[in-house]
Amino acid sequence: MPTTISSPKTKKVPAHSGTDRTRKSPGVKVSSLRASKTVLKKATAEKSLKSELAEQKVNTKGFYRAIGRRKEATARVRMMETGTGSITVNARPFEKYFPLAIMRDEITAPLKLVGQFDNHDFSIKVEGGGTQGQAGAVRHGFARVLLQWNAEFRPPLKKAGFLRRDPRAKERKKFGLKGARRAPQWAKR
């Protein structure tokens, strides 16, 4: 029977004609696993500390900012801490920019839900997309800025679906096709 050679951190390999060959075992060292776990624990502790500091941080600027998106539209919403309820969109009055009452009601739904419709002034810059996409983006921005201002608004806003960014967008055109999915007309002969 051939003799086997073994040492710590090595695999037993049979000795071949007097040569002393050993192979290191594959895998990760136990000490490196422990080190990575401690690094992970430290990282999570730092994240929790940062989140606590962020909650304690007092806004000294007098306004809060958030970004809302829908389709190709992006809305940058700025909410003043105090105000009379005036809303300006791209330096125009809210009623002029969104002339349809149905659209205005849809946009201001997050404000009415939490009862903050007349307590703040809003300045909004919207770009991209059409009017419907811009309306959705502003609504998303309103919900996000209210959440920044007061975290207690999260349950009602989330239940109503105002915090979710609507992922539906135009699908890209593919090569070999006439559109996103439309294929060229098929001819048998």
Q: State pLDDT tens for residues 104-150.
A: 999 999 999 998 888 889 999 999 999 999 999 999 999 999 999 98
Cα dihedral angle (66, 70, 74, 76), rounded to 10 degrees? Answer: -20
Q: Which domain holds residue 123?
A: 63-160
What whole-number distance in Å separates Cα of residue 143 and Cα of residue 150? 11
Distance from C-alpha of 118 to C-alpha of 171, rounded to nearest angstrom: 39
Encoded tokens for 137: 């983006």
Sole residue written with tokens 């809210």: 94
CATH number for position 154:
3.30.230.10
Q: How many domains does the chain have?
A: 1
Condensed to tens digits (0 to 9), the pLDDT of residues 45-89 reads: 666 655 554 554 556 678 899 999 999 999 999 999 888 889 999
Structural domain includes residue 36: no
For the record, the structure tokens of 184 come out as 């060229």
The verdict on residue 8 lying in a domain is: no
Answer yes or no: is 67 within a domain: yes
For residue 64, what are the β-bridge partners?
79
In a domain, 167, yes or no: no
Distance CA 48, CA 42 (A): 10
**Which tokens go with 63?**
């306004």
Report if residue 138 sits inside a domain.
Answer: yes
Residue 4 in any domain: the answer is no
